[in-house]
Structure 1
Amino acid sequence: MTDNLFQPFALNETITLDNRILMAPLTRCMADDELVPTQAMADYYARRAEAGLIISEAVIIRPDGQGYPNTPGLFTAAQIDGWRTVTDAVHQAGGKIFAQLWHTGRVAHPYFFEKSGTSDVLAPSAIAVEGSVPRMRELSYQVPKAVSHDEITQLIADYGQAAANAIDAGFDGVEIHGANGYLIDQFLHHGSNHRSDEYGQSPENMARFPLAVVDAICARIGNDRTALRVSPGAYFNMASDDRDRAVFDYFLAELEQRDLAFLHIGIFDDAMQFDYLGGSASSYVRSVYSKTLVGVGSYSAETGSAAISNNQFDLLAIGRPFIANPDYVAKVRQGNELVSYSDEMLTSLV
């Protein structure tokens, strides 16, 4: 019933995956206090190298991108060296791994980066996200600063540098985190982008910064090693707005021309329906984007395999079951029972 998951899949002429099962990015907060990956992280990823592709936990591109404790970075020499230990371990185990590049935008908190010389939380507009920092509930989110043109220019350059750092660290490519209510996604939704300049109001303007980041990274490492995660449906740290459909209609049409390695849906449960998208996030994207698409969001191997057979997407990303089952791919192939995920598993890397 799941045979199609074990077929090789060519992303392009550069990268061919051994199977269609991806390990989804899973934030674990297990880097050291300097945000350097540890040996335990290298062991953790290497045990899951049978995935057709591992997408790393989100990796912050610079200090003010941090919104959670002990999330790894990719902006210092020590962090690059730490990731090299991880990628070497994955490659020695026969796997491939992309780095997910991340800036949390208004979900950042200066508690994590004041020592770097700034306390500004950056976002498209000065609109705070509600609530407090997960795992550190004593920290409430702050009203961010609307980024200036000069700051936007620097952010684009820093994304490009982070991609180059990822290749230096041995990653096979990068996935830009443009989803789940973080910085890039904040530009793409009317609920978080109230700008009146060339980065706001119209679909073309709201997509300007995200497309500039994509283009900068493609210029540094090649479009064949560049992927993107998107959340056309606002659902996490973001208010819904029917006008977002027009933004993503434009954005996805532009991405179609860039021939990326893949596009990855950002959703926790792909059964979620969005009226302004006419259904699920993945069905909407598939209807307007013809290139390689990764589905995710509470699929099992069986339901994901069926979705691929039905041409709903091309590749299946699996999240929490990979935490509970380092040998997930082998178990599915052999028809063995999976260990059920539980939240207690988040406290250790196994």
Structure 2
Amino acid sequence: MQTSPSSPLSPTAQMPLIADDDGVFTLSFLLLPEYAMVSLLSAIEPLRIANRLAGKTLFRWQCFSDDGEPVLASNGLALQASIPISASEKPRNLFVNASFHPEKHISDASVKWLRELHRMGSMVGALDTGCYLLAKAKLLEGYPITLHWEAKPSFQERYPELEISDELFEIQGKRVTCAGGTAATDMMLYLIDAYFKPELAILVCEQLIKCTARNPTDHQRISQAEKLNLRHPKIVKALDLMASNIENPLTTSDLADRLSVSVRHLERLFLQHLSCSPTAYYLRLRVEHSQYLLSDSGLSIADIALACGFCSTAHFSRRYRALYGTTASQYRSGIE
């Protein structure tokens, strides 16, 4: 298993997990309705395998919910009953696990509970969009955090003061956040590597039929260039620049300057490799980006237009209809 020389769990870093009195680490998961079950299982399975390979209990795990009842995941399934947050015993290591519509499922009781855990010194973290609950409880100020790439734009609009990264997971102090999905497995392998022998993490990785564990800095998404199987370095960099500048789009002249090519040469490259102009490709990218905000944020259509680099709602609406054959309002009403 590859390890990062800049591991967030270097010997000088504060270790985030808190052991029980018997030395075992109990990881708890607060499940919000519509949570992603893949994130939960991706986090738990490496722990189970580590226990089996070690021949002893290194980790325990348990699930919480607001009322202790089973929680319906986004796939329509529910596990057994959970522990209610009103239980007397408080978790020392908690991950909030959410996915779709996280703000809709935040309760005053859960916010109060998280603040109580923070005051008692617990590690409080999040999987996927669990950051929404931590942000509501005001527990993220001063910490770099990450969450699922699809939810990042709307979260950033909602909490512009927070530092959000594109990492697979972020570990700093008693805040541990993860993009969710199978990135939860990479994070747990990282923790197993940090708290126990690296050889154990390697064995767990092999049991999971993984060739290697990803480092936190690995990309959450396949890049536009990889999706399109493009290798030309100027095109690859141009697409990266476009993807990184959605709200404040660069002009074709800006792109050409940053790539140290002429505008005419850049246009020829796009025509050759993508059969369109840089302007046309960039426009499509921004309109496609708007769909993530329409489906996963409570932002108004006017705010979404601005977040995708359009100077007016009317301009955005025309471009959206031209690409999708329907209006942004119709699309949003169809998924609600």
Identify whether the pair has TM-score above 0.5, normalized to the shorter chain.
Answer: no
What TM-score, normalized by structure 1, do the two folds share? 0.29
Rg larger in structure? 2
What TM-score, normalized by structure 2, do the two folds share? 0.30
